[in-house]
Amino acid sequence: MKGNNLLLHSFSESRTGVFGGKLDSSLLLLLSLIMLLVCIQHFVLDFSINIASTIHKNQIVAGKVQKKETKKKVVKKVIKKKLIKKQVAISRTYQFAGVGQSFGAINLKKFEGISKEALHLAILKVIPSSIRKKAKKFIPIALEYSQQYQVDPFWILSVMWTESHFNHRARSYARAQGLMQIMPRTGRFLARLMKKGRTFKQARALIRDPEKNVEMGVYYLKRLLKQFKYNYRYATVAYNMGPGWVSKRLRRGRGVGVRNQYLNKVIRVYRYFKKTNVPEILPKLRSDKLKYVAKI
């Protein structure tokens, strides 16, 4: 830039040239324009270099960020795979950690880490052969909903056995229907609570469906258990006699479940399930580390 200015200055000062006279003003203007263009060229070149340098730096930063993001994605994938494996293992077993105390003092923790199939077979083993075929189809359904609502599954099975003997077409003189013997009025009440319907027609359709019938029964038993502060005796009697009847007896200081035939039947049936012992029946399917279920 300085050299160009000096050159322009020298041309301006020496007004005489080879022709012995002053330079023509038009020529001087032309030279000035040329110098201006050279200056602009230098400016554009410097600007281009700066832009290229900035772009390069940005590319380096973007590359580092991309590497970090890629690394994060890889870590997330690894974590996701581990979670999937864990979920697969859990989905192949039942979890009753939230049940707390069971109806008949069965330790539900001993069934942790045992595959669902193994537990189904173990339960069938203790059920009398006369009703085993009927029970086989509905044991998995009962256990699934027992897990969902976190209630003692053997209590649920005992009530189901007492109510219908695992006959999904069972119907009482009082119009109670299905595996859990749900009355139409009770069915409508439960359907509304569970947000599955509001009319008697919808309730009847739910009650006739074996799976929905079981879910409604499990939901109702869990609700009764909460209502009577996790007293299994009161909840069991309330399932048969109604919560209003039980509440009235308690308010008047009268006994509940004393010499109650229904409760005694449920207790008697529950004793069968106390014999359930998967490790002895199917020792090869037992795995404390869930190795068996993880391979499936």
- pLDDT for position 67: 79
Q: How many CB atoms lie within 10 A of CB 221?
A: 25
Q: How many CB atoms lie within 10 A of CB 163?
A: 23
pLDDT in tens, 1-29: 444 454 445 444 444 444 444 456 777 78
- Residues 43, 40: Cα–Cα separation, whole Å: 5
Q: Where are the domains of the chain?
A: 2-64, 92-295
Residues of the chain where predicted confidence (pLDDT) is lower than 70 = 1-24, 75-90, 278-296
For the chain, state the CA radius of gyration. 42
Mean pLDDT of the chain: 82
Domain 92-295 class?
mainly alpha
> Helices 2-13 and 25-91: crossing angle, nearest 10°?
170
Token couple for 249: 């007896």
Phi first, then psi: what are they for 173, rounded to 5°?
-65, -25
Instruction: Look up the pTM and report it.
Output: 0.67
pLDDT in tens, 170-199: 999 889 999 999 999 999 999 999 999 889
